[in-house]
Amino acid sequence: MEIAKRVQSIPPYIFLELNKKVQAVAAKGIDVINLGRGDPDQNTPDHIVQAMQEAVADPVNHHYPPYGGTPEYKQAAVEWMKKRYKVDLNPHSEVTSLIGGKEGLHNTIMSFVDVGDYNIIPDPAFPVYQTSTILAGGTPYFMPLNPGNNFLPNLEAIPQAVLDKSKMLMLNYPHNPTAAVADLAFFEKVVHFCKKNNLLFCHDLAYPEMTFDGFKAPSALEIPGAKDITLELHTLSKTFNMTGWRIGFAVGNMQAVQAVAQLKSNIDTDVFRAIQVAAIAAMKGSLDHINYCNNLYAQRRDLVVDSLNKLGWQIKPTKGTFYLWLKIPSGYNSWDFTYMLLEKTGVLVTPGTAYGPSGEGFVRLSLCLPEKRLKEAMDRMKEHSITFDLAKAKV
């Protein structure tokens, strides 16, 4: 048997590799505190679950759903965009359903990147940006994100030779993994840049409601004329604690939306209708859980930031997502530090290079555990002298 070269060209998914390491450590009797995965620990709100239960019992939802989403779901997505961002969209031509954000990203890349094309992506970024580009036969062009520029890309540094061979530029703010945020002024620059260079701007807006300290994440589609070149991907996973439900939507430029919808119609049979009913209940129902969860994550963020700063880190509180992006002590690369921390303390973080070359020297820490477990993780680091000025020879 010979595996396809496209599969051989991509690395194993990072969380599968980390899980093997976790299992090996746990087999030694070590209680592992997993701060590696970005999966909300809070329940899906009750009114969404109830809507799902009722929809599952309704035989009308037991059949194939319409391609691109039910009319009711698309209308709910359009109304959400209007209410939240004051963005006007046509429910018939400017929105299509997604089976979660990851699937949407992959199929967007497959819809626009041809063999020989560059895809301009942030570095670091969610791994599917890179792997799906490779699967499409394209070449990822990495835009380095670094602390000196608040983890925003320098668009003017992209070579013209790359721009000439690119069809798309991808961004994600609030950002995974760095937790950086971007304002409307930044998106205005991006929209102008993409128009100038005839690029589709794909904005992966996965964490729009998970923001703190008065910051409110914008949609790129709020920029006048952005719809001319912008496709924005939304997912209900983080906003409504629905990571396992797998539902989202793509909105924006009609040609881009229809291209993704056409590809998907040949690959999947859309989202189970009952889940679409539940998603409508989510977007139309109470949003009280958002403030509750944000207050919870902010408290956790402050606990971890304070604890790590006492251990020598110099971390400022983040304004978005439930991640912290930590520069690691000298003498380690990202994987070595991750493995050392896991084996010595039982605390798991994610190595920065899992998200791209510029992730070297960093790890991502997730706040998706109760405060008690986060405090225990910080106590273990203190107990084992895992300080920022840690010397490799001491371990």
Q: Which two tokens stand for residue 322?
A: 């439930």
Q: Which amino acid would we find at residue 267?
A: I
Q: Which helix (H) or strand (E) holds 202?
A: strand 200-205
Q: Which amino acid would we find at residue 88?
A: D
d(CA 10, CA 133): 10
3 state DSSP class of 249:
strand
d(CA 127, CA 111): 18
Phi, psi of 43 (to 5 degrees): -75, 155
pTM of the model: 0.96
The answer to whether the peptide bond before residue 174 is cis (omega within 30 degrees of 0) is yes
Which pLDDT score, from 0 to 100, does residue 385 have?
95
3 state DSSP class of 176:
coil
Which pLDDT score, from 0 to 100, does residue 395 have?
37
151 φψ region: left (φ > 0), alpha (ψ -120 to 50), beta (else) = left
Q: What is the CATH number of domain 46-284?
A: 3.40.640.10
Residue-wise burial string across 149-184, b where 16 or more C-beta atoms lie within 10 A, e elsewhere:
eebbbebeebeeeebeebbbbbbbbbbbbbbbbbee
Q: Which CATH number fits domain 5-43+288-394: 3.40.640.10, 3.90.1150.10, 1.10.357.10, 3.30.450.90?
A: 3.90.1150.10
Sheet holding 95-98, edge to edge: 95-98, 248-252, 230-235, 200-205, 166-171, 118-123, 139-144
Q: Which two tokens stand for residue 94?
A: 């400017």
- H helices of 71-177, in order, are 71-85, 101-112, 128-135, 160-164
Which pLDDT score, from 0 to 100, does residue 393 have?
37
For every one of its 395 residues, what pLDDT tens digit does the chain have, with 9 covering 90 and above?
999 999 898 887 777 778 888 899 999 999 999 999 899 999 999 999 999 999 999 999 999 999 999 999 999 999 999 999 999 999 999 999 999 999 999 999 999 999 999 999 999 999 999 999 999 999 999 999 999 999 999 999 999 999 999 999 999 999 999 999 999 999 999 999 999 999 999 999 999 999 999 999 999 999 999 999 999 999 999 999 999 999 999 999 999 999 999 999 999 999 999 999 999 999 999 999 999 999 999 999 999 999 999 999 999 999 999 999 999 999 999 999 999 999 999 999 999 999 999 999 999 999 999 999 999 999 999 999 999 998 543 43
Give the contacts of 277 (CB within 8 A, at least 6 positions apart): 51, 52, 54, 55, 61, 72
d(CA 66, CA 94): 16
d(CA 253, CA 208): 20
Can you give the residue ranges of every domain in the chain? Answer: 5-43+288-394, 46-284
The label of the residue with tokens 């998200």 reads 355
DSSP state of 320: B
3 state DSSP class of 192:
helix
Give 324's strand partners: 365
Which pLDDT score, from 0 to 100, does residue 266 have?
98
Q: How many CB atoms lie within 10 A of CB 107?
A: 24
Question: Of 134, 220, 210, 215, which Cα lies nearest the Cα of 172?
Answer: 220
Question: Of 192, 258, 179, 259, which Cα lies nearest the Cα of 223?
Answer: 192
Q: Which amino acid would we find at residue 353?
A: T
Give the contacts of 64 (CB within 8 A, at least 6 positions apart): 269, 270
Cα 72 from chain centroid (whole Å): 26
3 state DSSP class of 207:
coil
Which pLDDT score, from 0 to 100, does residue 21 have?
87
Q: Which amino acid would we find at residue 28?
A: K
Q: Which helix (H) or strand (E) holds 289?
A: helix 288-310
